[in-house]
Copies of this chain bind each other. A is one copy, B any other.
Amino acid sequence: MADRKVISIDGMGGDHAPGIVVEGLERFAQQRSEFHFLLHGDEAKLKALLANAPTAAPRTTIRHTAQAIAMDAKPGQAVRRGKGSSMWNAIESVKNGEAVAAVSAGNTGVLMGMSLLILRTIEGLRRPALVAGWPTRKGISAVLDLGADIDADAEQLVEFAIMGQAYFKAVHHKDNPSIGLLNIGSEELKGHESIRDAAKLIRESGIKMNFHGFVEGDDIAKGTVDVVVTDGFTGNVALKTVEGLAKMISEMLMEALMKSGPLVMLGALLAMPALKKFRATLDPRKVNGAVLLGLNGIVVKSHGGTDKVGFAQAISVAAEMGESRARAEIEESLKRLLASPAAQQQAVAAAPEAAK
């Protein structure tokens, strides 16, 4: 069935599920005629919604389950007790080969925990990472890890670089994307030891990578590199900080334009096409769909509060990843890394640490 290009969808995950899930599915189905869908969730509700999704409906198979994961579920418990839920079943369809990728807008922590439990990490890889697109001056870059884990040692940062590279090739169709390690100060001597060691390891390990070296926070918006690699704590803080600022700027701009008297309002109306274009370049829906990389199967996390446009984009990311050679490329690079004398040295050096 995987040959038929099937995407598995958690119909019940997200703040506005299942409504926007089916609307997003319909939108994606209109764009890509070759995909079929497995839709997991409450059959009665999903069936009713599919009645208004004429393009998707003929290509969609509903898999009924009454169980769904609450958006505010506690990850630990929900992962253990979630077997048979729409989220669980969506991931399991990837494991058993029925689908090339799964998409859910449900609880992030539960989705990550469940995906890890069901799909397991690629052999030789220590930890998965969460990656997403990031709007820049030049277009879109990718940043990872956005919070799959909180720490990352040198070897994990190199794993992230390898996975980010494969992701960027798959989703953004660039052959030799440039990779940078996020640091403070661009001098070799600054920053955490793990970051400096990771740079050394990438250079010495013989993995094929267009490695730029260190980048700083402001390089992300500049689009200095295609893939920015950092630990999950820093990545998550940077992402949320920027989301907060973007929202604030957008709101304040509209307030300033709408509350400054009739002449300014007239001006704003005249300038509206440009203002809309400007807002579109920062539209978070355009980069919706974070990929949980490093598992034996593709899982895409949609923003929980997105609309149909955003959800369709998340399905599209799943489609690109599912069709790509990303996993094979990650496995090849990992083999090179693990076989390299540089990595073996680091493993020996790190051993006493790990044994503590």
Residue positions of A touching B, CB distance < 8 A: 74, 109, 136-137, 147, 150-151, 182, 184-185, 187, 190-192, 216-222, 230, 232-234, 236-249, 251-253, 256-257, 259-260, 263-264, 266-275, 277-278, 281-282
Contacts and interface: CB of A to CB of B under 8 A. Distances in A.
A237 B184 contact: yes
17 contacts: A136-B248, A150-B192, A151-B192, A217-B243, A218-B240, A220-B241, A221-B244, A230-B237, A252-B278, A253-B253, A256-B275, A257-B271, A259-B274, A260-B273, A260-B277, A267-B267, A267-B272
Contacts of A245: 220-221, 242, 245-246
Given A137-B251, A151-B192, A222-B248, 9 more contacts: A137-B252, A184-B240, A217-B240, A220-B241, A230-B237, A238-B238, A257-B271, A267-B270, A271-B271
A158 to B, nearest CB: 19
A218 B246 CA distance: 10
A147 B151 CA distance: 19
Contact of A221 (B147, B248, B273): B248
Contacts of A271: 257, 260, 264, 267-268, 271
B260 A264 contact: no
Contacts of A220: 241, 244-245
Nearest to A243: B218
Contacts of A252: 137, 278, 281-282
Return the 10 tightest CB-CB contacts between A and B, nearest first: A267-B270, A217-B240, A218-B244, A267-B271, A221-B244, A217-B241, A256-B278, A260-B274, A256-B274, A221-B248
Interface of A: prevailing SS? helix
Given A233-B234, A256-B278, A275-B256, A241 B242 contact: yes
Contacts of A74: 187
A260 B275 CA distance: 10
Contacts of A244: 217-222
Given A150-B192, A245-B245, A278-B256, A270 B273 contact: no
A153 to B, nearest CB: 14
Nearest to A236: B184
Contacts of A187: 74
A26 B260 CA distance: 33
Contacts of A230: 237
A260 B274 CA distance: 6
Contacts of A137: 248, 251-252
Contact of A233 (B184, B251, B272, B273): B184
A280 B272 CA distance: 21
A184 to B, nearest CB: 4
User: Which residue of A136, A251, A253 has the most chain B CB atoms within 10 A of its CB atom?
Assistant: A253
User: Which residue of A218, A236, A252, A275 has the most chain B CB atoms within 10 A of its CB atom?
Assistant: A218
Contacts of A182: 237
A107 to B, nearest CB: 11
A236 to B, nearest CB: 4
B268 A274 contact: yes
Contacts of A253: 253, 278
